Amino acid sequence: MPACDGGATGGDPGSAVTVWAGGGDGARTAGTVSAAADVWSGVGGPVVVRAPAKLTVSLRVVGVRSDGFHLIDAEMVSIDLCDELVFEPGDGLHVVDEVVGGLGIGDVDAGSGNLVCRSLAAAGRRALVTLRKRIPVRAGLGGGSTDAAAALRWAGVADPDVAVRLGADVPFCLVGGRARVQGIGDVVCPLAYRDRRYVLLLPPVGVETAACYRAWDALAGGGLVPGAPADADGLRVGRGGTAGTGALGTTGALGTTGALGTTGALGTTGAFGATNDLEMAAVSVMPEMGDWRDALARATGRRPMLAGSGSTWFVEGTLAELGLQDRRWLEVDGRRAPLVAVRTVAPFEAGSTGAPPAIGTDRRGSA
């Protein structure tokens, strides 16, 4: 799997070293570890690793493997809503609740089951890690996966096989930037960077990814099958759907139209041409998700997109462009969901030796 080149940004001796999760083979400055070490070996200050959230701007489900895993064709980008991991000598994990909008960390595991701990175990490393959690949980933004990728980067591990064993989104988060993601998430093909702005709506509900895919299976009724034929662009297509075309796409029973797809019975199309085959499934699992989608549509005049399996909805544009510059929240039946402005992160920023982009600038809904 391709990886982005890059390194770390160092400071004065004894200061923290900042490493972007999408960087290269790990930092080589004071406070980091050598590739062969199984314990902390740095001589400087703590290592701070920023882990950008993942935004899935287009997602097609193109098949199901015999083992039940779903095959996807998606476009994913890194955005500047980031968790922060601080690595120091010792052993253990401490989670600090800094989730944007005051949504809380819920039941995040701070023990050996946490993806950070599992990543360190897979890399044969130990460290005392403080995880400053800013990405909401069960929001479709890859918070756990990007934390896992950050830990692998700190440990100097860039093996996609290690990454995919930790989770389907970890390989993309290990690369970062913008990419076309296929297979079960293990095929990551970097794409040219596009500077984009989005506004996220973060409902105070979570959607379990496994439940969403089970609902998709029920709705699909077997319309997409493993081993479906590929079209001229190499995309796998389902049987029984209405034919259609997109920039790269073809269609199956749940096909959809957009930059990477086309449209079918259960798909939905966003205002800017992207689509997410999981939207109907997610709303069937959590019906109030539809209310939040409609609230964002009314506020912006645009068709919101679902991020991954949810629960985040998003539209492209800035707060001002969308007429939201004076709003921090949307309300549905007395419950509030924060609005969060984000931008995409370029691969060179992910591994840059310069200062990373500011986090939290014009961040609406922050606690």
90, 134: one domain: yes
What is the residue range of 286's domain? Answer: 199-343
Q: Which of 54, 73, 147, 186 is catalytic?
A: 54
- The highest-confidence range among 7-11, 268-272, 310-314, by mean pLDDT, is 310-314
Residue 168 lies in a domain: yes
pLDDT at 88: 96
Q: What tens digit of pLDDT does each residue of 180-189 get?
A: 999 999 999 9
Active site residue 54: yes
Residue 108 lies in a domain: yes
Residue 363 lies in a domain: no
Residue 231 lies in a domain: yes
pLDDT at 169: 95
pLDDT at 25 over 60: no
User: What is the three-class DSSP state of 185?
Assistant: coil
- Which of the four pLDDT bands, split at 50, 70 and 90, describes residue 220? confident
Query: Once rounded to an integer, what is the mean pLDDT over residues 246-252?
Result: 30
Q: Which two tokens stand for residue 110?
A: 């701070």
Per-residue HEC secondary structure of 321-362 comes to: CCCCCCCCEEEECCEEEEEEEEEECCHHHHCCCCCCCCCCCC
Give the C-alpha separation, 15 to 229, whole Å. 55
Strand partners, 190: 179
- The highest-confidence range among 112-121, 222-231, 358-367, by mean pLDDT, is 112-121
48, 184: one domain: yes
pLDDT at 78 over 90: yes
Residue 356 lies in a domain: no
Give the C-alpha separation, 40 to 29, whole Å. 13
Considering only CA atoms, which of 141, 171, 148, 163 is closest in space to residue 54? 141
CATH code for the domain of 301: 3.30.70
Give the global pTM.
0.74
Q: Which of 73, 80, 147, 169 is catalytic?
A: 169
Q: What tens digit of pLDDT does each residue of 87-97 get?
A: 999 999 999 99
- Which of the four pLDDT bands, split at 50, 70 and 90, describes residue 275? confident
Domain boundary among 160, 194, 228: 194
Give me the number of domains the chain comprises. 2
Q: What tens digit of pLDDT does each residue of 290-302 get?
A: 999 999 999 999 9
Domain boundary among 194, 228, 259: 194
Q: Which two tokens stand for residue 269?
A: 């199309």
Strand partners, 53: 79
182, 248: one domain: no
Domain boundary among 169, 194, 219: 194
236, 171: one domain: no
User: What percent of the chain has a predicted confidence (pLDDT) above 70?
Assistant: 68
Percent helix, strand, coil in the chain, to 5, is 20, 25, 55
Give the C-alpha separation, 294 to 313, whole Å. 10
Query: Once rounded to an integer, what is the mean pLDDT over residues 331-340?
Result: 96
pLDDT at 257 over 50: no
Considering only CA atoms, which of 80, 76, 150 is closest in space to residue 341? 80
Give the C-alpha separation, 263 to 246, whole Å. 8
Across the chain, how many H-helices and E-strands are there? Answer: 8, 15
Residue 114 lies in a domain: yes
pLDDT at 254 over 70: no
CATH code for the domain of 171: 3.30.230.10
pLDDT at 24 over 90: no
Give φ, ψ of 8 to 5 degrees: -120, 165
If you ran DSSP here, which 8-state letter would residue 236 be given?
B
From 74-78, 145-149, 245-249, the region with the lowest mean pLDDT: 245-249
Mean pLDDT of the chain: 75
Residue with tokens 């969308």: 322
268, 230: one domain: yes
Q: What tens digit of pLDDT does each residue of 160-206 get?
A: 999 999 999 999 999 999 999 999 999 999 999 999 999 999 999 98
CB 46 within 8 A of CB 29: no
pLDDT at 44: 58
CB 180 within 8 A of CB 260: yes
Helix or strand run (H / E) with residue 129 = strand 128-133
330, 217: one domain: yes
Q: Does 100 or 41 have the greater pLDDT score?
A: 100
229, 336: one domain: yes
82, 216: one domain: no
100, 174: one domain: yes
pLDDT at 107 over 90: no
Give the C-alpha separation, 190 to 174, whole Å. 12
142, 165: one domain: yes
- Which of the four pLDDT bands, split at 50, 70 and 90, describes residue 110? confident
213, 314: one domain: yes
39, 133: one domain: yes
Residue 131 lies in a domain: yes
Residue 360 lies in a domain: no
